[in-house]
């Protein structure tokens, strides 16, 4: 990090961190360096840039910014969140055991169960809202706790500090997927986590125009291992998407505040709708938001008192909320987890974990909230007509 920014607030660092050394042009923005390879002074010269799978000036600038925002020493950018996950799992070996929270992104579970079990890894899934569940699930061969908080899609909250205490007392790595919260809302490394993971396609980039993943760490030895995995496996982020991500980070704090305010107003509305069975939102169940989260974020999930065909009609009836995969963009999105983001999970497991056919997930954007409310009211009116006809 630039020394003059070291003690500045996150909002200031988000705007100013992530510059490349002065190139005599006076450019305010970080340039895009598309080079795949670089001139060296002599055979074996590694004093500067050599090959972009190893390091690239634009990617490194974005990595420095992310390390700063997450209070880490090193950050590594990958071509997707799942590529970043792969690098973490590559720290393990056959016979190792992983404890993961039971409410996870479908792609994470798919990688765990369809890929890593073939290489001899063992997985246990727990309700992470109870810190003691980590202790109870720990085995002599447990090497990693994998946590999402808030979780996807039910927005369960995990006490990172308590999970970290249990992990450290058993010499276990704690990795936290901080995609939903972002470093503006919570910083897991400050709470004892060893690794922070993001699908940077979401809030960090913020405009639905990047596919990226990132890992951030504090420990230098762990950083070296992750860097080796990244370099050996590949999957680094390209310079253009690194530049887009760096641009998105500059407005992270502004966007997250608007996402959260809009989401809270939509929750207030949804709790008055007779067709809504339950609303999921951080802190809504009467518990305080743990881990020093500064705000609840922009994801709202709820179940409808309706069958699948009616729910399907609802998610197709909105006009401003776009029916689409992903989340975290300035645009509001609506999603049906059971048939979209979590469709790879077997139906019986989905339902056991609360991901029913009646579940709807909103990624609340930064539009005028009155327009979002009108859009949802219109969708509810449309399915009321459908229910009456049936």
If asked whether residues 257 and 221 sit together in one domain, one would say: no
Mean pLDDT, to the nearest integer, of 309-334? 97
Please report which confidence band the pLDDT of residue 277 belongs to, taking 50, 70 and 90 as the band edges. very high
CATH number at residue 266: 3.90.1150.10
Q: Which two tokens stand for residue 312?
A: 């399907």
Among left, alpha and beta (phi > 0; psi -120 to 50; other), residue 303 is: beta
Question: Would the pLDDT of 1 be above 60?
Answer: no
| 273 phi, psi to nearest 5 deg | -85, 125
Mean pLDDT, to the nearest integer, of 94-110? 96
Active site residue 105: yes
If asked whether residues 241 and 262 sit together in one domain, one would say: no
Return the pLDDT at 27. Answer: 83
Residue where a domain terminates, one of 179, 214, 249: 249
Domain that holds residue 59: 3-249
Question: Would the pLDDT of 285 be above 70?
Answer: no
| 13 phi, psi to nearest 5 deg | -65, -35
Question: Would the pLDDT of 290 be above 60?
Answer: no
CATH number at residue 130: 3.40.640.10
Do residues 282 and 157 lie in contact, with contact meaning Cβ atoms separated by under 8 Å?
A: yes
Please report which confidence band the pLDDT of residue 389 belongs to, taking 50, 70 and 90 as the band edges. low
| 132 phi, psi to nearest 5 deg | -65, -20
Catalytic residue among 202, 218, 350, 361: 202
Distance of alpha carbon 25 from alpha carbon 164, whole angstroms: 46
The pairing of strands 195-199 and 142-148 is unpaired
Question: Would the pLDDT of 226 be above 70?
Answer: yes
Return the pLDDT at 287. Answer: 53
Catalytic residue among 8, 19, 53, 265: 53
Residue where a domain terminates, one of 223, 249, 275: 249
Catalytic residue among 74, 76, 96, 105: 105
Mean pLDDT, to the nearest integer, of 250-269? 97
Active site residue 76: no
Return the pLDDT at 20. Answer: 74
If 0-12 CB within 10 Å is exposed, 13-18 middle and 19+ buried, where does residue 20 land?
middle
| 375 phi, psi to nearest 5 deg | -65, -45
CA torsion through residues 311, 316, 319, 323, sign: positive
Question: Would the pLDDT of 22 be above 70?
Answer: no
If asked whether residues 256 and 216 sit together in one domain, one would say: no
If asked whether residues 267 and 244 sit together in one domain, one would say: no
If asked whether residues 346 and 284 sit together in one domain, one would say: yes
CB within 8 A of 372, min separation 6: which ones?
262, 266, 320, 321, 332, 364, 365
Please report which confidence band the pLDDT of residue 263 belongs to, taking 50, 70 and 90 as the band edges. very high
Poorest-confidence range of 109-113, 236-240, 348-352? 348-352
The C-alpha R_g of the chain, in whole angstroms, comes to 21
Please report which confidence band the pLDDT of residue 21 belongs to, taking 50, 70 and 90 as the band edges. low
Picking from 88, 165, 79, 166, the residue whose alpha carbon sits closest to that of residue 121 is 88
If asked whether residues 276 and 344 sit together in one domain, one would say: yes
**Mean pLDDT value across the chain:** 94
If asked whether residues 239 and 282 sit together in one domain, one would say: no
Task: Give tens-digit pLDDT for 156-215.
Answer: 999 999 999 999 999 999 999 999 999 999 999 999 999 999 999 999 999 999 999 999
If asked whether residues 121 and 228 sit together in one domain, one would say: yes
Question: Would the pLDDT of 387 be above 90?
Answer: no
Catalytic residue among 96, 159, 177, 194: 177
Please report which confidence band the pLDDT of residue 315 belongs to, taking 50, 70 and 90 as the band edges. very high
Residue where a domain terminates, one of 186, 219, 249: 249
Mean pLDDT, to the nearest integer, of 129-158? 96
Return the pLDDT at 345. Answer: 86
Residue for token pair 């070291």: 6
If 0-12 CB within 10 Å is exposed, 13-18 middle and 19+ buried, where does residue 93 land?
exposed
Question: Would the pLDDT of 288 be above 70?
Answer: no
If asked whether residues 122 and 221 sit together in one domain, one would say: yes
If asked whether residues 153 and 256 sit together in one domain, one would say: no
If asked whether residues 319 and 363 sit together in one domain, one would say: yes
Alpha helices in 250-368 (DSSP H): 252-270, 308-315, 347-352
Question: Would the pLDDT of 386 be above 90?
Answer: no
The pairing of strands 359-363 and 122-126 is unpaired
| 203 phi, psi to nearest 5 deg | -65, -35
How much of the chain, in percent, has pLDDT values that exceed 90?
Answer: 86
Mean pLDDT, to the nearest integer, of 309-331? 96
Mean pLDDT, to the nearest integer, of 140-167? 96
State how many domains the chain has.
2
Helix (H, G, I), strand (E, B) or coil at 273: coil
Task: Give tens-digit pLDDT for 35-51.
Answer: 999 999 999 999 999 99
Active site residue 202: yes
If asked whether residues 241 and 286 sit together in one domain, one would say: no
Across-strand partners of 125?
A: 100
């Amino acid at each position: 990090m630039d020394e003059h920014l070291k003690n500045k607030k996150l909002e200031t660092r988000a705007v100013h961190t992530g510059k490349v050394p002065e190139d005599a042009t006076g450019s305010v923005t970080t340039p895009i360096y598309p080079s795949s390879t670089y001139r060296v002074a002599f055979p074996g010269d590694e004093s500067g840039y050599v090959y972009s799978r190893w390091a690239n000036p634009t990617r490194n600038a974005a990595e420095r910014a992310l390390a700063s925002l997450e209070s880490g020493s090193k950050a590594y950018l990958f071509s997707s969140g799942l590529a970043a996950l792969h690098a973490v799992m590559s720290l393990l070996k056959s016979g190792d055991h992983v404890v993961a929270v039971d409410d996870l992104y479908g792609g994470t579970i798919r990688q765990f169960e369809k890929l890593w079990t073939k290489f001899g890894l063992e997985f246990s899934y727990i309700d992470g809202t109870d810190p003691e569940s980590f202790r109870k699930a720990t085995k002599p061969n447990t090497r990693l706790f994998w946590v999402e908080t808030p979780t996807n899609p039910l927005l369960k909250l995990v006490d990172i500090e308590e999970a970290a205490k249990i992990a450290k007392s058993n010499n276990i790595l704690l990795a936290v997927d901080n995609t939903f919260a972002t470093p503006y809302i919570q910083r897991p490394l400050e709470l004892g986590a060893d690794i922070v993971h993001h699908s940077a396609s979401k809030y960090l980039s913020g405009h639905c125009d990047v596919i990226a993943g990132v890992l951030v760490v504090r420990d230098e030895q762990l950083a070296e291992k992750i860097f080796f995995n990244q370099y050996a496996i590949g999957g680094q982020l390209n310079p253009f998407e690194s530049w887009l991500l760096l641009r998105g980070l500059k407005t992270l704090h502004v966007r997250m505040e608007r996402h959260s305010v809009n989401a809270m107003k939509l929750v207030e509305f949804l709790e008055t709708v007779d067709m809504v069975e339950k609303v999921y939102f951080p802190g809504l169940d009467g518990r305080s938001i743990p881990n020093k989260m500064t705000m609840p974020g922009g994801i709202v999930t709820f179940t409808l008192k309706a069958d699948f065909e009616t729910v399907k009609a609802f998610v197709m009836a909105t006009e401003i909320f776009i029916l689409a995969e992903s989340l975290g963009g300035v645009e509001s999105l609506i999603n049906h987890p059971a048939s979209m983001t979590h469709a790879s999970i077997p139906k019986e497991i989905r339902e056991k974990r609360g991901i029913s056919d009646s579940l709807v997930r909103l990624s609340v954007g930064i539009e005028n909230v009155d327009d979002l409310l009108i859009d949802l009211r219109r969708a509810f009116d449309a399915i009321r007509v459908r229910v009456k006809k049936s």
